[in-house]
Amino acid sequence: EALRGLSLSVAEGECFGLLGPNGAGKTTLLRILATLLPADRGNVTIAGIELRRHPEQLRRRLGYVGQQGGTDIRATVFQDLMLQAHLYGLRGQAARRRVSEVLEQLELSELAGRSVGSLSGGQRRRLDLALGLVHRPPLLLLDEPSLGLDPASRRQLWDSLRALRAQGVTILLTTHYLDEADQLCTHLALIDQGRIVVEGTPDQLKQESTGATLILTLAQSGSSNPGQQAAALLRPCSYIRAIHQEGDGERLRLTVEQPEVALAAVLRLLEEASLTVTSLTLERPSLDDAFLRYTGRSLRREPMIAPPDIRSDFSWKGK
């Protein structure tokens, strides 16, 4: 099964991310939502439109940008966008106005006369976005949007996606890049072997996985052990999950919830007890920590590819 009864709901205005390894079922899901691949069973509803009953109406409500894109390397940027506008029923001056708007929106105006084949990878990816936006869809589906891009091109693409969301476009994207999910997504679902294992905001998933870590080094004070004193003082605190002493005891590793609140509270308690902190490090958990907790393996591990039996349920609460 490529998808095993997967179900999710995306709210209007979100940037919802599906984070998982290659072979997890992410592309299969997006191809179903884009009406490019039929599901064996399950339902898709977008803004009240059921895919099985009204696929034509649904296509007008979404833009789809696949991993390979949809550009024609023989055309110019402007010609490519005009063709897309015509496919969605725009003609004459209305089509030209809309193409000009999208070119400006994605900072492609200076490239309008260039052949698509001469564009860099980052420029072509922004053109893919433009093609998905010509018909003003309220929902944009992006499959691995920054796959293969260099760091500078990725940052520019991310800026474009943030701007689109600020303008009210709802985004559903797939990625296996931890930093991309962390930077862009307001809500995340971790997907593995065709199932959603957990979902929440990036901060929630990271915090629930292991908690943040505070590493404190305490100054020695006579013959007493400052680490033991601090551990005894901090152990009753509800926001501390675990305490480990390291080295000769003057170094503490604290696993904490709500790290900003915990940091202030810990420093205050130690100061009141006349214990001096000589160094402090805050280590935040990563999305890979969350994936490891919920699946038992790292995102960086080579995935198992499953045979295609397809099921999905999806709804988007928008207009």
SS3 291: helix
* Local structure of residue 305 (DSSP, 8 states): P
Tell me the C-alpha distance between 169 and 171, whole Å: 6
* Co-location of 98 and 230 in the same domain: no
Q: What is the CATH number of the domain that holds 250?
A: 3.30.70.920
CA-based nearest residue to 171, from 181, 161, 156, 158:
161
Please tell me the total count of domains within the chain. 2
* Co-location of 279 and 295 in the same domain: no
* Co-location of 121 and 262 in the same domain: no
* Co-location of 274 and 197 in the same domain: no
Parent domain of 119: 6-201+291-317
* Co-location of 115 and 224 in the same domain: no
pLDDT at residue 307, rounded to an integer: 37
In a domain, 110, yes or no: yes
pLDDT at residue 204, rounded to an integer: 86
Token output for 135? 């018909």
* Co-location of 142 and 222 in the same domain: no
pLDDT at residue 101, rounded to an integer: 96
pLDDT in tens, 69-126: 888 889 999 999 999 999 999 999 999 999 999 999 999 999 999 999 999 999 999 9
Q: What is the CATH number of the domain that holds 12?
A: 3.40.50.300
CA-based nearest residue to 261, from 231, 240, 287:
240
Phi-psi region of 19 (alpha: psi -120 to 50; beta: other; left: phi over 0): beta
In a domain, 206, yes or no: no
Within the chain, residue ranges assigned H as helices are 26-33, 55-59, 77-87, 92-105, 121-133, 151-166, 178-184, 202-209, 226-234, 259-272, 287-295
* Co-location of 150 and 263 in the same domain: no
* Co-location of 133 and 172 in the same domain: yes
CA-based nearest residue to 123, from 83, 94, 80:
80
Q: Which residues of the chain have pLDDT under 70?
A: 209-210, 222-223, 249, 300-319
SS3 120: coil
Q: How many CA atoms lie within 13 A of 7 on its CB side?
A: 5
In a domain, 1, yes or no: no
* Co-location of 182 and 225 in the same domain: no
* Co-location of 169 and 110 in the same domain: yes
* Co-location of 162 and 229 in the same domain: no
pLDDT at residue 1, rounded to an integer: 84
In a domain, 185, yes or no: yes
pTM of the predicted model over 0.85: no
Strand partners, 44: 314
pLDDT at residue 89, rounded to an integer: 93
* Local structure of residue 76 (DSSP, 8 states): B
Tell me the C-alpha distance between 273 and 256, whole Å: 20
Helix, strand, coil percent values for the chain (each to nearest 5) = 40, 25, 35
pLDDT at residue 318, rounded to an integer: 54
* Co-location of 163 and 225 in the same domain: no
